[in-house]
A and B are shown apart, each in its own frame.
Chain A
Amino acid sequence: MYDAPNLAESQVTQDNIKISARNVQVFYADTHAIKDVDVDILDKTVTAFIGPSGCGKSTFLRCINRMNDTIDICKVQGDIMLDGQDIYDKRVDPVQLRAKVGMVFQKPNPFPKSIYDNVAYGPRIHGLARTKADLDEIVEKSLRRAALWNEAKDRLDQPGTGLSGGQQQRLCIARAVATAPEVLLMDEPCSALDPIATAQVEELIDELRQEFSVVIVTHSMQQAARVSQKTAFFHLGHLVEYGETGQIFTNPEDERTESYITGRIG
């Protein structure tokens, strides 16, 4: 048989598990939002979480960097291990955890500070730079990674809020990567962006996977298909199906996945 190369998108080159979740349950007061979720998220891979509104995909994403700790009525059970370490262990400092597990939200939310300070904020509070020169270097590297350097290098002292929507989102990504995270969580990062800015962010996600494990929640199935190597489908709090993205989109195993991705009532 002719040994043809695979399409780049279909390659899952990694088998190192970065995050391992077992028997995860999440409750909001009496509501059981996540039910028995087991999943292994790979290193240096983009994993997409898809599913209808209210299926629990964002809730589960927020468990991975303990963002749910900030919600009083929210209770998380089960094990979530990052590199084999339980992130809900009492000795783990959530602030330190969030430096390792960065997050980008649906709406761009730059601090009301300069572009420079937006990116420098994390490295400063975590003490990642000893000198001004170190910090300058981190800011430039982060902005370059977020494909914003060329547009922002001459206006670093201007407010981040003065950038366009797409630029603001890339600024938020620069801010998230500035603390040298190992995992980047993205909760619908493109829903407020136009198609060009979306394409830029998607290109960026693809570059980021060289270094990080990226987990993206998206309502756009086409986006999940375009950017991810692995896809997880959530429905009514259950992880229904988790597999290679190409397989999920051509031949899903579960009928609920099929109904959802083909746009039928599921």
Chain B
Amino acid sequence: MNEEHISSAFDRDLETVQALIMKMGGLVEESILNAAISLEKRDEELAEQVRRGDRIIDELELRIDEETARIIALRAPTAVDLRVILTVMKMASNLERIGDYAKNMAKRTTVLSQLTQIDGSAAALRRMARETERMLRDALDAYIQRDAALAREVMERDTDVDQMYNALFREFLTFMMEDPRNITPCMHLHFIAKNIERMGDHVTNICEQIIYLVTGDLPDEIRQKKDRTSVDPDASPEFLS
């Protein structure tokens, strides 16, 4: 459906929200990477930049909400146009959440730089963040190219992020059991890992929405939940492995 509308103003409106959501997506990708780098390099200045940048992401979400509400009121979109508008709205709120998680990571970076370093954790978190950022980048590509297959593939990759999170969770537990002085930094690091894991879930939501945009139906296969740590109190490291 690349044909143009008879009303060219409608096309311009749709292009405007499209440009806004891509701008927002780009900023969120950058935030994820910068938050991870600032953590690894203990770069408080970069962390501060991520925190400030979140305000722009929030403003973009508001702007997208306004523009989409306007298009619904004035143009009464139907069929694929309606699905584009609904998808953009949901993408915007998911991107805003991802941006919040990146900001939260940056806040903890400032605290963590005062604490003992936990070996290897920052690099592992950066790998996890990088994988999530790649998922997001591919999801945005899938949106632009209206590629449901790519969106499905990105959803599959969320399992990898979940596994990385589970591995880190076990690692942090081990560190904390070894030495109670590790508890404070490990708790912060664990929250960061959890934040990145949640980012992956939001990317998954975006992908579901893209599949709806392209096919008109939400994907019916519900991803297998492999993470038992949240439901099983006995899920100790030994139990999990």
What residues make up the interface of A, taking CB atoms closer than 8 Å to B? 221-222, 225, 249-252, 255, 257-259, 261-265
A259/B216 in contact, CB under 8 A: no
B79/A258 in contact, CB under 8 A: yes
Q: Give 17 pairs: A residue, B residue, CB < 8 Å, sorted on A.
A: A222-B76, A249-B78, A249-B82, A250-B83, A251-B83, A251-B217, A252-B79, A255-B1, A259-B1, A259-B3, A261-B78, A261-B79, A262-B5, A262-B77, A263-B5, A264-B1, A264-B5
- Given known contacts A222-B76, A262-B77, A263-B10, is B3 in contact with A250 (CB within 8 Å)? no
Chain B residues with CB under 8 Å of A225's CB are: 78
B82/A258 in contact, CB under 8 A: no
B 1-26 to A, binary, CB cutoff 8 A, 1 in contact else 0: 10111110010000000000000000
Majority-rule SS of B interface residues: loop
A219 vs chain B, min Cβ distance (A): 14
How many chain B residues have a CB neighbour from A under 8 Å?
A: 17
The 5 A-B pairs at the shortest CB distance, nearest first, are namely A251-B216, A264-B3, A249-B78, A261-B78, A262-B81
- Give Cα distance in the complex from A252 to B83, angstroms: 12
With both beta carbons as reference points, the residue of chain B lying nearest to A221 in the complex is identified as B78
A264/B83 in contact, CB under 8 A: no
Chain B residues with CB under 8 Å of A222's CB are: 76
Chain A residues with CB under 8 Å of B76's CB are: 222
A264/B77 in contact, CB under 8 A: no
Q: Name which of B4, B80, B217 has the most chain A CB atoms within 10 A of its CB.
A: B80
A258/B1 in contact, CB under 8 A: yes
A132 vs chain B, min Cβ distance (A): 49
- Given known contacts A250-B78, A250-B216, A258-B1, is B83 in contact with A263 (CB within 8 Å)? no
Chain A residues with CB under 8 Å of B77's CB are: 262
Chain A residues with CB under 8 Å of B7's CB are: 263
- Give Cα distance in the complex from A261 to B82, angstroms: 11
With both beta carbons as reference points, the residue of chain B lying nearest to A249 in the complex is identified as B78
Chain B residues with CB under 8 Å of A255's CB are: 1
Chain A residues with CB under 8 Å of B217's CB are: 251
Known A249-B78, A264-B3; further 9 A-B contacts with Cβ < 8 A: A250-B79, A250-B216, A251-B83, A252-B79, A255-B1, A262-B81, A263-B6, A263-B10, A265-B3
A178 vs chain B, min Cβ distance (A): 35
- Give Cα distance in the complex from A252 to B6, angstroms: 19
A264/B216 in contact, CB under 8 A: no
Q: Which chain B residues (33-83) contact chain A, with CB distance < 8 Å? A: 76-83
A168 vs chain B, min Cβ distance (A): 28
Chain A residues with CB under 8 Å of B80's CB are: 258, 262
With both beta carbons as reference points, the residue of chain A lying nearest to B6 in the complex is identified as A263
Chain A residues with CB under 8 Å of B78's CB are: 221, 225, 249-250, 261-262
A6 vs chain B, min Cβ distance (A): 17
- Give Cα distance in the complex from A263 to B81, angstroms: 10
With both beta carbons as reference points, the residue of chain B lying nearest to A261 in the complex is identified as B78
